[in-house]
Structures are given as structure tokens and as C-alpha cells.
């Protein structure tokens, strides 16, 4: 059967403290598995230390999981990012609904090879296996989304998360003991609205019939 396979790995994992990195990685994977348990067919499962794989119900679920993982990294102020690939491909064996192990098929093989190739291409998101009419649009929109995400400095990640949760910059100015006008300017410089628009664009494309 064909299914949506999602895989990800930690970008430049060797540059981080291994024990601390794995603890943080396991936590966000566990949290997202719990949050999206209805959309996840085979749980996101850490397979090679700094990578995970899973099977989800549809393309929108895959997109929402990418958003959720990136948001978790902001919220927790984690000092690493993830590289994602989603492939709609064949799984020959029965899908394991308890853990994403012991499954075989061309879809999994292509996703794994694609993730490895992305490392040499310095690419952070890739969708494969869907119809060409929205494949190019979706991949371009995801590149736009991540270009904004990657522009945020570590010192701003918690503030960005707060902006994404709370649209009222005046309330955030109070929280951070800042002048409202400076907080408004900060919101603009961080391109919060552009980031939200990129997410909306991705969702619209993913929902196209």
C-alpha cells in the first residue's frame, strides 16, 4: 500500500553534546507523537540516534507535524534544527502501528536515500511522491518557510515562539519589560507575519485536490 512516510534528522548533530541532544530530541518526538496520535499511523520512532521515521495519515498531517516540531524547538529554546523529508510511497509489509520498525518497501527506501542526498545538497525540507501539479509549489513554499525560520538568532527563539502564540505585541512588551513601540519593531524585523503567511500558503497547497 502507499502511505505518507516522514523522516527527519538533526542537522549537524556531531556539533552538539550527544547526551543532552538525545534527551531533547526524544522529548520533542514523544510530545509530537502524543499530540498527533490520531493522525499518526506508525509513531515517529528514533532509528539511528539522530534520525526518526514514521507514517502519517495524509499530507496535511505531515505538514502539521513539521510545523509542530519546529515550534517545539522554539519553545524549548533547543540549539538545533531538523531536516525533513516526506515521501508518498509504497510500503510492502504491514504497517507497524506500535513502532516504526520492521517495515519494508520502495517508499521507505526512497525516503531514506532522499534524506541522505539532502545532506550533501544542504537542503532542509523535501516532499516527494505526490502529483507534480503541487509538488513544486509545496517545496518552494517550504523553502520560503524555512528561510525565515533560519534567520532567527538563538537569543530570539523564545520571543518568536511567544509572538506566534500571542498576537498582541503590547502584552508581550509588558512580559519582557520593553517599550511597546520597540516590541512592534521587533515583531516586524523578525518577519512574524511573513512566517505565518508562509505556513498558510503551505497548508493551502497541501489541501489542493
* Residue 15, pLDDT score: 66
pLDDT value of residue 17:
66
| pLDDT exceeds cutoff 70 at 108 | yes
User: Where do the structural domains in the chain lie, given as residue ranges?
Assistant: 2-149
Would you say how long the chain is, in residues? 209
Query: What would the pLDDT profile of 182-196 be if each residue is shown by its tens digit?
Result: 999 999 999 999 999
What is the average pLDDT value for the chain, to the nearest integer?
A: 94
**pLDDT above 70 coverage of the chain, percent:** 98
**What CATH architecture applies to the domain 2-149?**
2-Layer Sandwich (3.30)
- In whole angstroms, give the CA distance from residue 178 to residue 176: 5
How many percent of the chain have pLDDT more than 90? 84
pLDDT tens string 14-70? 766 668 888 999 999 999 999 999 999 999 999 877 999 999 999 999 999 999 999
Q: DSSP alpha helices (H): ranges in the chain?
A: 18-35, 59-75, 106-121, 132-151, 157-165, 169-175, 180-189, 192-206
C-alpha–C-alpha distance, residues 161 and 105, integer Å? 38
- Taking only the tens place, the pLDDT of each residue in 117-176 is 999 998 999 999 999 989 999 999 999 999 999 999 999 999 999 999 998 899 999 999
Q: Whole-prediction pTM value?
A: 0.95
Residue 177: pLDDT band by 50, 70, 90 thresholds?
A: very high
Tell me the torsion sign for CA atoms 134, 140, 141, 143: positive
Specify whether the CB–CB gap between 54 and 6 falls below 8 A.
yes
Amino acid at each position: 500500500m502507499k502511505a505518507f512516510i516522514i523522516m527527519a534528522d538533526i542537522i549537524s548533530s556531531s556539533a552538539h553534546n550527544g547526551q543532552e541532544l538525545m534527551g531533547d530530541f526524544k522529548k520533542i518526538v514523544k510530545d509530537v507523537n502524543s499530540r498527533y496520535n490520531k493522525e499518526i499511523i506508525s509513531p515517529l520512532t528514533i532509528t539511528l540516534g539522530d534520525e526518526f521515521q514514521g507514517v502519517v495519515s495524509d499530507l496535511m498531517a505531515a505538514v502539521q507535524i513539521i510545523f509542530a516540531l519546529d515550534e517545539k524547538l522554539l519553545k524549548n529554546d533547543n540549539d538545533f534544527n531538523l531536516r525533513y523529508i516526506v515521501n508518498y510511497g509504497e510500503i510492502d509489509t504491514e504497517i507497524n502501528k506500535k513502532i516504526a520498525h520492521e517495515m519494508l518497501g520502495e517508499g521507505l527506501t526512497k525516503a531514506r536515500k532522499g534524506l541522505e542526498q539532502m545532506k550533501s545538497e544542504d537542503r532542509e525540507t523535501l516532499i516527494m511522491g505526490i502529483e507534480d501539479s503541487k509538488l513544486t509549489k509545496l517545496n518552494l513554499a517550504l523553502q520560503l518557510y524555512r528561510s525565515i525560520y533560519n534567520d532567527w538568532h538563538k537569543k530570539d527563539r523564545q520571543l518568536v515562539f511567544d509572538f506566534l502564540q500571542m498576537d498582541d505585541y503590547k502584552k508581550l512588551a509588558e512580559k519582557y519589560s520593553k517599550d511597546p513601540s520597540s516590541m512592534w519593531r521587533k515583531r516586524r524585523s523578525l518577519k512574524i507575519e511573513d512566517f505565518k503567511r508562509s505556513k498558510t500558503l503551505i497548508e493551502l497547497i497541501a489541501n489542493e485536490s
